[in-house]
Amino acid sequence: MLVLGAGFGGLEIAATLSERIGDGLDLTLIDKNESFFFGYSKLDVMFWRQSAKSVKHSYRQINKPGVQFRQETITSIDPVSRRVTTQSGAYDTDVLVIALGADYNIGATPGLAEAGHEFYTFNGAEKVRDILPTFKKGHVIVGVCSFPFKCPPAPSETALLLHEYLVRQGVRKNCDISLVVPFELPIPPSYGTSKALLKAFRKKNISYIPDMMVGSIDAKRKVAELDDGREMPFDLFLGIPEHCVSGVVEQSGLVFDEWIPVNKHSMLTKFPNVYAIGDVASTGIPKSGSFAAGAARSAAEHIIAEYEGHDFTMGYDGTGSCYVEFGEGMVGRADVDFYTKSTATGIHRGVSTTLADEKRSIGERNKARWFGN
Ligand SMILES: Cc1cc2nc3c(=O)[nH]c(=O)nc-3n(C[C@H](O)[C@H](O)[C@H](O)COP(=O)(O)OP(=O)(O)OC[C@H]3O[C@@H](n4cnc5c(N)ncnc54)[C@H](O)[C@@H]3O)c2cc1C
């Protein structure tokens, strides 16, 4: 079996299958990177909460029965023959799982590369980290440039953590923060968590601009042009760029309407024994680590059911928990459900330091499980 991509989805499916099948498993996990990091670690690095080195976990440490890791770059995927090539060779496999995540098209937003900063890549977050200490006054816009984007709470978290950082630097009174997002509520399925966020924005003097995206940036004038034609001057623009599949996925013939369509319960694509999980797939649920992990567990159950010849009963139920950083050590949680009702629902679990501890310990637990130590 071949799993392409060792992010949230790839690590979860490899760990689940290893735990269920043990040494009888023959799974090769491929990633171009040397190490894994959680998506939220980019915010920790950007706001000087953790060092880049401390949030990276080397794939060399993976020690799970039946799992071998290879650091290679995938160069082609043929879903018909289930043949995958990398810069080092070729693989033929009986079961293929594509977990290659979402890539970014920064050039899709005119002016973003010239006058703004994206922080959704690790390098982008490190660049912003290096700029922040020199930022002493002016207007910062945290702006979403396209939809869908990873982790819908992340722009709100960024605005709140930026507020905390600027307070710590003693320059908050000289700065304005605006947040531009394409939703009416910051977390549409959860009214409770959204209400808590809106209250925090008011308290921290963060201007919330809902139902809007940044279409382009006038680099010369340093002005963000919103979709309704409004212009917002800025001194620092932190942008969430357009998301897309990577080139190798685009060329695989698996993509329809921008992402890989899958059965939303089993994650099977239209090609036999070819699965797509996580951000690369279109399931109608947000692109987020907790949903990628849920999808991975269901795909693993489907693979086992097919292999053992029994009915598949553990389809993905579209639920997941979103942890939301409020700053000052406080974390909120929304438990959301995308499949049970016709519109997504969410339960607000509060905002507390206990939830901050819970988020940390779930991260530690995932890491220990995925890496087998
Ligand atoms: C700022 C930010 C904050 C976030 N906060 C949270 C959060 O708090 N909670 C949460 O649940 N989610 C969060 N997310 C979202 C989360 O990180 C992603 O949704 C999640 O990682 C998706 O998992 P995945 O397995 O689909 O893709 P990824 O985790 O992106 O993994 C894809 C893997 O494929 C590899 N790859 C890609 N192309 C190739 C290639 N050609 N060859 C070899 N390897 C390749 C990549 O190196 C990568 O390791 C956040 C994201 C961001 C950007």
Average pLDDT over residues 20-30: 96
* 197 in the same domain as 128: yes
Give the whole-angstrom CA distance, residue 192 versus residue 71.
43
* 23 in the same domain as 92: yes
Write the pLDDT tens digit of every residue in 71-96.
999 999 999 999 999 999 999 999 99
Evaluate whether 355 touches 331 at the Cβ level (below 8 Å).
yes
Residue 165's CB: how many other CB atoms inside 10 A?
Answer: 20
348 in a domain, yes or no? no
Question: pTM of the entire structure?
Answer: 0.97
Evaluate whether 52 touches 45 at the Cβ level (below 8 Å).
yes
* 236 in the same domain as 118: yes
* 169 in the same domain as 279: no
Q: Cα(232) to centroid of ligand 1, in Å? A: 31
Please tell me the total count of domains within the chain.
Answer: 2
* 30 in the same domain as 85: yes
The per-residue pLDDT for 314 is: 80
Task: State the Cα angle at 34 between 52 and 28, rounded to 5°.
Answer: 140
* 131 in the same domain as 226: yes
Mutate to test the pocket of ligand 1, among 100, 252, 355 (most ligand atoms within 8 A of CB): 100
Ligand 1 atom at shortest distance from the alpha carbon of 280: 26
Average pLDDT over residues 241-255: 98
**Token pair listed for 289:** 């680590």
Q: Cα(102) to centroid of ligand 1, in Å? A: 7
* 288 in the same domain as 277: yes
Q: Please tell me the residue having the least CA distance from ligand 1 atom 31.
A: 7
Task: State the Cα angle at 144 between 320 and 119, rounded to 5°.
Answer: 85
Indicate which CATH number applies to the domain containing 61: 3.50.50.60
Write the pLDDT tens digit of every residue in 319-365.
999 999 999 999 999 999 999 998 999 999 999 999 999 999 999 99
Q: How many percent of the chain have pLDDT more than 70?
A: 100
Mutate to test the pocket of ligand 1, among 38, 240, 275 (most ligand atoms within 8 A of CB): 38
Evaluate whether 269 touches 254 at the Cβ level (below 8 Å).
yes
**Token pair listed for 246:** 């990577």
Ligand 1 atom at shortest distance from the alpha carbon of 73: 42
Domain termination site, one of 316, 331, 356: 316
Give the whole-angstrom CA distance, residue 122 versus residue 34.
13
Write the pLDDT tens digit of every residue in 155-196.
999 999 999 999 999 999 999 999 999 999 999 999 999 999
88 in a domain, yes or no? yes
Confidence band, pLDDT 50/70/90 cuts, at residue 11: very high
* 61 in the same domain as 43: yes
327 in a domain, yes or no? no
Chain-centroid distance, C-alpha 257:
20
Interhelix angle 8-21/289-308, nearest 10 degrees = 30
Domain termination site, one of 221, 242, 263: 242
Q: Please tell me the residue having the least CA distance from ligand 1 atom 11.
A: 289
The per-residue pLDDT for 373 is: 78
* 222 in the same domain as 141: yes
Give the whole-angstrom CA distance, residue 366 versus residue 16.
11
* 280 in the same domain as 222: no
Per the listing, tokens 């279109």 go with 282
Domain termination site, one of 242, 267, 298: 242
Confidence band, pLDDT 50/70/90 cuts, at residue 228: very high
Confidence band, pLDDT 50/70/90 cuts, at residue 33: very high
Domain boundaries, position 134: 111-242
* 251 in the same domain as 219: no
Write the pLDDT tens digit of every residue in 190-216.
999 999 999 999 999 999 999 999 999
Pocket of ligand 1 (CB under 6 A): 5-10, 30-33, 39-40, 42-43, 73-74, 99-101, 120, 150-151, 154, 246, 248, 278-280, 287-290, 292, 323
Mutate to test the pocket of ligand 1, among 161, 193, 279 (most ligand atoms within 8 A of CB): 279
Evaluate whether 147 touches 182 at the Cβ level (below 8 Å).
yes
Chain-centroid distance, C-alpha 259:
15
Which residues have a Cβ under 8 Å from the Cβ of 210 and sit 6 or more positions away? Answer: 181, 183, 184, 185
The per-residue pLDDT for 313 is: 87
Give the whole-angstrom CA distance, residue 6 versus residue 74.
12
Q: Cα(183) to centroid of ligand 1, in Å? A: 22
* 226 in the same domain as 130: yes
Question: What average pLDDT does the chain have?
Answer: 97
